[in-house]
Structures are given as C-alpha cells and as structure tokens.
Amino acid sequence: MPAAHPSRLQVLTAGIVSLVLCMGIARFAYTPLLPLMQQQAGLGAAEGGWLAAWNYVGYLCGALFASSVSDLVLKDRLYRVGMVVAVLSTAAMGLSDSVLWWSVWRFIAGLSSAAGMLFGTGLILNWLIRHDHRPELGIHFVGIGLGIATCALMVSLMRQSLDWHAQWYVFAAAGLILLGPALYWLPKPDTSGLTHAGRPMPDAAPSPLFMRVFMAAYFCAGVGYVVSATFIVAIVDHLPGLAGKGSLVFLVIGLSAAPACILWDLVARRIGMLNALLATSTVQIAGILMPLAGGLTAALAGAVLFGVTFIGLVSLVLTMAGRYFPTRPAKMMGRMTIAYGVAQIIAPAVTGWIAERAGSYAGGLYLAAAVMVVGSLLLVALKVVERRDAQTAAHPEHA
C-alpha cells in the first residue's frame, strides 16, 4: 500500500526513483547496450534505429492516451502498472534474438516510460501544488540524469564479464529493487480542487496560437534530443581514436543532466520560463555538434552541454504545463509529448537510414542541429505571442 502521509522528501524520492526505472533503465539502457548488441547479436545500424523508433512509438501512444485522461485515480493506477511493466519489458529484451520481438518489447517499454514520465510527473506536480510547495520539477527530473549515468556505468562495468543477454537481466533486477520506493512513497492522489490550505487550483489555458507554436518548437526539441540520446555511444565509438569511449561520453551526459533541472529552475526564476527555454535550446545546438570536431575533449564537452540542456528543456516545458493546468497537468503534458514523441519516431529511423548509406552518423547530427535552430526561432516567436496574449487579457475591449 502507498504511504498515507509521506514527506516531501519521500514523494520527490519516489519520483526520482520512478524516472531512474522507467526512463533510465526501461528506455535508456538500450543506448549503451546498442554497440554490444551490434557486435554480439548482429544488429545493423538501420535495425538499431528502427528499434529506437518503436520505443518512441510506444512512448507516443502513451502520450496520446495520457492527453485524454483526466481522472487522477486512473492516472495513479496506470502509473503503478507502468512501473511493473518497465521491469518486465526490460527482462524480456534478453529472452530473444529476434528483431521482431525486440521491437515489441521496445514498444511496450515506451508505454511504460510514458506512464512514469507523464502520469508520475503529473501526480507529483499536483501533490507539490496541493501541499503549497514550489511548482518546480528540477529535483524530480534528477532521476533522468541519474538513470542515464547509472546505465552507462553499469554497461561499462559489465562489458568484459557479461554478454548482452545477461546485461538486460541485470538491468531488470536493478529495476525490481527500484520498484518498491517508486510505488510505496507516492501517495494516492487527492481529487479535490483545493490546496491543503484551502486555496483553489484554477486552470488557466494558454491561447490556441500559443499552443500551436509551443508544440512546433517542442517537436524540434524532440529531434534535437533523440539523435544524440539514441546514437551517441555508437557515434563516439565510430570516431577516429575514440573506440570504446562512447559509454564514458554517455556517462558524462547523465552526470551533467542530473543537477541540470535544478539549475534551470533557478535560471527561470530570474529570467522567465521562455527565456530559459530559449537558452537551453541554443546551447544544446553546440552540444549536438561538438563531438564532430574530433577528439575526446570535444566529445566530452559536447556531452556536458547536451546533458545540461536537453533535460532542462523538458523539465521547463512540463513545469509550464503544470502551471497552466494544476488540477490536470498530464493532459497538457501529454499533448506536448505527442509533438516531442512524433519527432522521436521519425528522427532515429532517418538517422539510422543515413548512417547505413553514408557509413557515418554525422548527417544525423547536422540534421538534429538544423532542426534545433528552427526550434529556437519558434521560441522567439512564442515570446511575441505571449506578449500579445497578455495585452489581450489586460485589454479585452481591444481584442
């Protein structure tokens, strides 16, 4: 049974642990394991891209469903089911040598990731607002960076002693350990429309134009994120003189991502949410391209910039969703994630196709950086839309 009256520390720890499980293990363990599966299981670059795409198809389907669910009790149940499925789908990856079955399990893992990321995050944000804490997700999203770093470190430690089958089983066992706090320390949701101090929690939806531009910018962010997140280990391992260094770079991404959301929360308090988003987007472009400069120093510098920014951008967007819809944040989170998820289906498949024909992942990185430039311009446009909407709200007679 979930804890009846958990502390803020317990609730935030439940969120961190759930993200280590559903995003770190169920989702990102595949990235450092990809080169090993290519070596030992004969997985090709294009097939590796399609497996990543199937994972994101599952994530997108979960986001579509999340955007239609308003019932907090149902969200809580689906979150808990998703945590269990994250463990099972991870173990199942080691049971087969079939690309078909791998695709099925990556799809199911994507569903579980959506349950943890959207339902879990929404429930925690709702709890924070209801208990009069700051509606910020920086501490919560430490779990994604920790998950990435943990996966990279585990693969590095297991590389010499265990084959790819056994490594999936070890990840599943680790997920089983994380399951307890992820389920027990997140309380059952309060369905009232008031905070514990008795204040109302009104929703304040942004304008339709704001949402359209925002979703387009987040689509671009999805492309910028997914190419490096999926292929960075393989990319670095294929660079001259860097064979075997990909897991180190992935570890640095995770370590950089772990404190990043807390940093961006502080930045957003000083310069505003949209200015902070624009900063993450522009810096991430440099992080995407730096590995192509060659050498371990450039690859590690790019990893730091990418790790600090990609998760900060996601955290800021989902925090904004919670502020617009405090009673049902997962609805807007789901809509935004649909845009992000579509990009994550298209970009890995295209990158794998480019790599198969060109013999290099460089084209995929250039594509990701170019799309991020477009996304940054859309965020500039979004600031204009926000100002226009504020003026319209202040002077409705001129609308």
Distance CA 361, CA 82 (A): 33
pLDDT band, very low/low/confident/very high, at 356 (cuts 50, 70, 90) = confident
Q: What is the mean pLDDT of residues 7-12?
A: 90
Whether 178 shows a pLDDT value over 80: the answer reads: yes
Beta bridge partners of 194: 200
Whether 194 shows a pLDDT value over 70: the answer reads: no
- Residue 262 domain-assigned? yes
Q: What is the mean pLDDT of residues 361-370?
A: 89
- For 222-231, 257-266, 328-337, which range has the lowest pLDDT when averaged over its residues? 328-337
- Residue 257 domain-assigned? yes
More confident of the two residues 321 and 221? 221
The CA-based dihedral angle spanning residues 20, 164, 256, 341, taken in that order and rounded to the nearest 10 degrees: -70
Whether 188 shows a pLDDT value over 60: the answer reads: yes
More confident of the two residues 356 and 203? 356
- Residue 151 domain-assigned? yes
* CATH number of the domain residue 257 falls in: 1.20.1250.20
pLDDT digits (tens, 9 = 90+) for 50-107: 898 899 889 889 888 888 887 888 999 999 999 999 999 999 999 988 999 999 999 9
pLDDT band, very low/low/confident/very high, at 281 (cuts 50, 70, 90) = very high
- Split into its structural domains, the chain has a count of 1
* Residue whose C-alpha is closest to residue 233's, from 194, 294, 291: 291
- Residue 398 domain-assigned? no
Q: What is the mean pLDDT of residues 181-191?
A: 87
Whether 224 shows a pLDDT value over 80: the answer reads: yes
pLDDT band, very low/low/confident/very high, at 206 (cuts 50, 70, 90) = confident
- Residue 360 domain-assigned? yes
Given this model, what pLDDT does residue 218 score?
94
- Residue 362 domain-assigned? yes
Whether 321 shows a pLDDT value over 70: the answer reads: yes
- Residue 399 domain-assigned? no
More confident of the two residues 178 and 122? 178
Given this model, what pLDDT does residue 104 score?
96
- Residue 197 domain-assigned? no
Max avg pLDDT among 37-51, 81-95, 351-365: 81-95
The residue range of the domain holding 129 is 8-187+202-390
Whether 196 shows a pLDDT value over 80: the answer reads: no
pTM of the model: 0.78
pLDDT band, very low/low/confident/very high, at 279 (cuts 50, 70, 90) = very high
Burial 161-192 (b: 16+ CB within 10 A, else e): ebebeebbebbbebbeebbebbbebbbebeee
* Residue whose C-alpha is closest to residue 102's, from 41, 151, 12, 155: 41
